Amino acid sequence: MFQLKFVEGAKPGQPIKRKKNENEKNEENKKRWSKYEEKRNDRPFKESWKEGRSWLNFDESKGAMTCFTCIEFYGTKSIGSGLKGCNTFLTGSTNLKKSAVSDHELSKAHIDATANIAAKCSDSAAIASSQAGKAMLSLHLSERQRLMHLFRNAHAVGKKGRPITDYTWLCNVTEANGVDLG
């Protein structure tokens, strides 16, 4: 059998124009985009990006954006791939696009840093109003001391790899030392 096919627009002696696959299209788009970026003037930092983003800082001398929250939580050193998308805002991102700011804002590292900083800064009134805070305040000092000794005994039994039956023995020893465990 012949493997001939009809191709519209084919001319004898000339190669057939074939359709480009996805990889070739992507490569062409990348080349076009890089040419565009080379010809483009420097992007300015827009102060409107700071609205609603108290964490965003722009250093004019470096021409870079940083994140106060991430720097406070992670420090100024760049930390491995665990902070993908956050490293540039620790050291200073020169990618002056709004998409870079919004991508950082939605990154897991930034969200974790924001949550941890907020937890550290919460005042005692907020803690006291929580259910767990109310429960802790309701315990008297002697009850807290008793629970502290019981948990310390449980920790010691687990840490030393002793059987759980040693827990009652250890509690008896603690009571013999003059500590009231109830």
Task: Give the model confidence (pLDDT) of 113-168 as tens digits.
Answer: 888 888 877 766 677 777 887 777 777 667 888 889 999 999 999 999 999 999 99
CA distances to 23, 63, 83, 111 from 102, in Å: 28, 18, 16, 12
Q: Are residues 89 and 137 in the same domain?
A: no
pLDDT at 170: 92
pLDDT at 154: 94
pLDDT in tens, 42-99: 778 888 888 888 899 988 888 889 888 888 888 765 555 455 545 788 888 888 888 8
Q: Is 2's pLDDT higher than 90?
A: no
Q: Where are the beta strands (DSSP E) in 35-116?
A: 56-59, 64-67
Q: Are residues 140 and 110 in the same domain?
A: no
Nearest CA among 94, 89, 81 for reference residue 106: 89
Residue 81 lies in a domain: yes
Residue 78 lies in a domain: yes
Nearest CA among 24, 141, 128, 119 for reference residue 72: 119
Write out the residue range of the structural domain in which residue 110 sits. Answer: 47-120
Q: Are residues 140 and 105 in the same domain?
A: no
Q: Are residues 115 and 143 in the same domain?
A: no
Domain total in the chain: 2
Q: Are residues 99 and 133 in the same domain?
A: no
User: What's the chain's Rg over C-alpha atoms?
Assistant: 32
Contact of 4 with 16, CB cutoff 8 Å: no
Q: Is 6's pLDDT higher than 80?
A: no
pLDDT at 153: 93
pLDDT at 39: 75
The gap between the terminal CA atoms of the chain, to the nearest Å, is 96
Q: Are residues 113 and 169 in the same domain?
A: no
pTM: 0.48
